[in-house]
Amino acid sequence: MALDITQVHRNLHTRVTILYLEFEDMFVILGLAALTNVLARFVHRDVGGIPLNVLLQYVIPIAAVPLLIAFKYGEPRRYLFDFLESHAKPRIYCGMEPDSQQTTEYLEEGGETAQYANHNAAA
């Protein structure tokens, strides 16, 4: 009886990019577009003959694409979300942050560690 063999694609770990941006980065661009769309509804001014609401609705999100590409150039995958998360929760991975669950000292002065050091030095 022969085995049925299916081909396994070797490019499963490649990044999916659109305009050199990851798929998740498009959510940032769409969120920026939605935010500027809402803010543009309240602005009734002109900049160089162009209504400011048009600039906010269309130019800002379109200009954000090359700026985001330049910001992420040479960085690993998910860099933007890791960057934002590190600034949103800056001390979560910090070794200097005191532990809220540990109430006693981990090491004691002159405790077991000092006894082992004295025992090894005497031997």
Task: Report phi then psi at 51, rounded to 5.
Answer: -60, 135
pTM of the complete model: 0.58
Q: How many CB atoms lie within 10 A of CB 92?
A: 9
C-alpha 73: how far from its chain's center?
14
pLDDT score recorded for residue 35: 92
Partners of 45 in the beta sheet? none
Q: How many CB atoms lie within 10 A of CB 111?
A: 10
Q: Which two tokens stand for residue 49?
A: 């003959």
pLDDT band at 120 (very low <50, low <70, confident <90, very high): low
Q: Is 69 within 8 Å of 26 (Cβ atoms)? A: no
Q: Is 54 within 8 Å of 61 (Cβ atoms)? A: no
Between the ranges 2-6, 63-67, 90-94, where is the mean pLDDT highest?
63-67
